[in-house]
Structures are given as C-alpha cells and as structure tokens.
C-alpha cells in the first residue's frame, strides 16, 4: 500500500481513485502523506499560524439540522445573544493582542434586526481598529443583498460549511423542507464569491452513513469550487440530536481523528496555498489534536473570545474543550501549542488566503 501511496503523491492532480487510496492508506502510507503535507505547507505557506479571535455571537438558530447541538428543536439550552458592548470588548481584546482577525459566528438567522446589527457591528469594529482587523463571518445562508451589505460594512471573509458534498447524504442529515436545501447552500457559496469575499467551506468527517468515497468527493468539491479557506474536523455526536440514535455506527474516536488528519493533509497537498484551520473539534478527540493538525498542513487557529458565561450554551457537539478558559488563558495555551508544533504566530498580520489573492488577480486578468 505504501509504495502505491508514494507513486500517487507524485501525481500533479489527484483523481477520485487516488483520493480513495490516500484516505485508505495504512500507517506507513499515512506517515508519507503527513510528511509530504508538512513539506508542502512550509514551501507554499511557511510556518506561520494566524489567529482568528472567535466570537460566538448567538446560539439562536432557525435551522434544525440533525447533528447540531444548537438546532432550533433542542430545548436544552438557554438561548443568548451577545450585547454590542460584549462584542466590542472581545474585538478590542483581539486588537490589543495583535490578532488582526476575528471570526464572528452564530446560528443561522435572516431577520432584519439581526442583519442590521451585524452590519452595525462590522462598521464599529472597523472604526475601532482603524481598519486593522479583518473579519470573517459565519451566519449561514443569506441573500446576495445581505452578503453585499456585510461586505461593504467591513467583512472580508465568510465561512459557509457545506458539511457534506453528497446531496443524498445531506438529506439524511437535515429535515426535508425549504429551510434545509442543499442546492440553496451551493447558490449561497456562489453569491459569496460574486460579492468578493474570501470564501470558506468545510465538512464533518466520520458521520453516520458517510463513506470514504463521500470524503473523496468532499475534497474534490473544495477544488472544484476553488475554495479559499477550509474549516473541517471530526463529527462528534451530541445526545440532544436525532443523529445520536446512530452512534453505534460510528468509527471510534481515534479513527475519526486519524481520518480528519488525513483529510487536512491531503487537502494541503491538493490546494497548496489555501488557509486551513486547526479546529477545536480536533482537540476534543485528541489532547494534542490542534498541534497535530498544524503539523500536517493547517495554518489557522481560533482562540475563543466569547465571554465564558455563554460558552456552555454554544455546544455544537459534546465535550467541547476550553469552555471555562478566559481569553487570556486561551491565548497562552494556543501559543504553547503552536510552538510545540514547530510553528510561529503571525501577530499583527491578516493572514489572508494566498489562494484568494492569486485567484482574484487571475480573474482580473481575464
């Protein structure tokens, strides 16, 4: 198997058959994949890791996805929304600590009051930081007009995870109604690109009903959609979701983690200059999960700036780490993890996707 892996890694572009072989590699082959991914990262990205200060704005969500802890049908959590002052305090911390970037995420909503508030906060963050903080938003599917307003107000990046690229599998993970439409999500990704965002997406790895073939298609999806940044990690079950019923079908946590590392590494080899996050879910399944993700290709980390009192009400999955860490503690912890991985921190740098810069430059030449 490992000999075949070495040959596949010389291919200028991976076919689906190649990807299935890479994802199925034995330990020897996997080590070769990881070594290649590390070398590609150092050549094309370098060893800098960029912080994105994470603000979990609200757990109020209009969607009822079968895998998510903050789904609208889950009555377990107290619903919350940060005040303007709490958001600005978190943004000011990021500014002081030279993070240069924020991620503001929350449940999917499209009411006017919500849209107006996000636009207002974007303008206030830009004003407070004199334009020195770049903002990534992650609030799901919105209208092209909303995306345009937020972009004009100061958002530069948008993360819209597809979760699975197989439309039939998508149906098994979501209610069958107009609010959970696979093709509407694809259209939203296209709208984001048209408005000028650095476009991010991502998937869950190790879901019930998911196959290695599905994961190979996920990787091809990122390439075919020319995605600029990716946040993906292992699926972790939550007992207040319908999908919990199928937990006996899951791979072990160590297998899900290992498969997630492979996905990160293979994607780095495929799309050499994109941004890839070392997600919190990685650390949930392995105490050194985020460091290991950095070592095989990831180059972004997200210190949590959400006020601690809200963290237990923003659990998308079980056993989420760091929910009791204050922002300063989280920063120190991640600094240590990054140094352990042999990387350095790009303080006071936006860390924009090199792929995005190249893509937009190429598009401008056409």
pLDDT tens digits, 199-230: 999 999 999 999 999 999 999 999 999 999 99
Strands 53-58 and 204-205: unpaired
Let me know how many helices (H) and strands (E) the chain has, helices first. Answer: 15, 12
Region 277-285: what's the mean pLDDT? Answer: 94
Question: In terms of Cα–Cα distance, which of 116, 110, 279 is closest to 184?
Answer: 110
Above 70 in pLDDT, residue 365? no
Q: Which band of pLDDT confidence, cut at 50, 70 and 90, is reported for residue 1?
A: very low
Above 70 in pLDDT, residue 3? no
Is 291:41 a contact under the CB 8 Å cutoff?
A: no
Q: Tokens 């120190």 map to which residue?
A: 332
Model confidence pLDDT, tens digit, residues 283-298: 999 999 999 999 999 9
Is 308:93 a contact under the CB 8 Å cutoff?
A: no
Cα pseudo-dihedral 101, 147, 62, 64, rounded to 10: -80
Model confidence pLDDT, tens digit, residues 168-206: 999 999 999 989 999 999 999 999 999 999 999 999 999
Above 60 in pLDDT, residue 2? no
pTM of the model: 0.95
Region 264-289: what's the mean pLDDT? Answer: 96
Enumerate the domain spans of the chain.
47-365
Which tops the pLDDT comparison, 149 or 178?
149
Above 50 in pLDDT, residue 77? yes
Region 11-24: what's the mean pLDDT? Answer: 97
pLDDT at 364: 65
Q: Tokens 């498969």 map to which residue?
A: 259
pLDDT at 246: 96
Which tops the pLDDT comparison, 57 or 362?
57
Signed CA dihedral, 266, 271, 273, 278: sign only: negative
Region 115-141: what's the mean pLDDT? Answer: 98
pLDDT at 29: 97
Region 114-141: what's the mean pLDDT? Answer: 98
pLDDT at 234: 97
Q: Tokens 């048209």 map to which residue?
A: 194
Which tops the pLDDT comparison, 319 or 250?
250
Region 271-276: what's the mean pLDDT? Answer: 98
The CATH number of 47-365 is: 3.20.20.70
Q: How far apart are CA 15 and CA 12, in angstroms?
A: 10
Which tops the pLDDT comparison, 208 or 340?
208
Beta bridge mates, 203: 163
Choose the weakest-confidence range: 70-79, 204-213, 244-253.
Answer: 70-79
């Amino acid at each position: 198997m490992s000999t075949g892996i070495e040959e596949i890694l010389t291919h200028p572009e991976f076919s689906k058959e190649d990807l299935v072989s890479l994802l199925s590699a034995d330990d020897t082959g996997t080590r070769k994949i990881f070594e290649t991914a590390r070398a590609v990262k150092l050549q094309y990205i370098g060893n800098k890791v960029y912080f994105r200060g994470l603000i979990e704005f609200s757990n109020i969500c209009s969607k009822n996805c079968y895998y998510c802890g903050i789904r609208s049908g889950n009555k377990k959590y107290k619903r919350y929304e940060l005040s303007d002052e709490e958001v600005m305090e978190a943004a000011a911390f990021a500014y002081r600590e030279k993070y240069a970037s924020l991620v503001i995420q929350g449940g999917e909503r499209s009411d006017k009051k919500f849209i107006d508030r996000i636009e207002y906060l974007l303008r206030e963050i830009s004003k407070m930081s004199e334009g020195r903080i770049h903002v990534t938003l992650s609030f799901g599917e919105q209208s092209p007009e909303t995306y345009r307003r937020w972009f004009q107000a100061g958002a530069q990046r948008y993360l819209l995870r597809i979760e699975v690229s197989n439309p039939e599998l998508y149906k098994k993970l979501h209610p069958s109604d107009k609010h959970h439409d696979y093709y509407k999500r694809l259209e939203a990704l296209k709208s984001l690109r048209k408005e000028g965002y650095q476009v991010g997406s991502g998937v869950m790895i190790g879901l019930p009903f998911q196959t290695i073939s599905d994961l190979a298609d996920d990787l091809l999806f990122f390439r075919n959609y020319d995605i600029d940044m990716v946040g993906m990690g292992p699926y972790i079950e939550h007992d207040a979701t319908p999908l919990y019923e199928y937990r006996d079908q899951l791979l072990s946590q160590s297998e899900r983690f290992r498969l997630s590392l492979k996905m990160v590494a293979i994607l780095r080899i495929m799309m050499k200059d994109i941004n890839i996050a070392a997600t919190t879910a990685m650390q949930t399944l392995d105490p050194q999960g985020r460091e290991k993700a950095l070592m095989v290709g990831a180059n972004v980390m997200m210190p949590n700036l959400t006020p601690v009192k809200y963290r237990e009400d923003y659990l998308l999955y079980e056993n989420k780490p760091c929910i009791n860490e204050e922002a300063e503690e989280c920063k120190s912890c991640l600094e240590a993890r990054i140094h352990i991985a042999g990387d350095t921190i790009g303080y006071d740098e936006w860390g924009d996707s090199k792929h995005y810069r190249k893509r937009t430059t190429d598009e401008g030449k056409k």
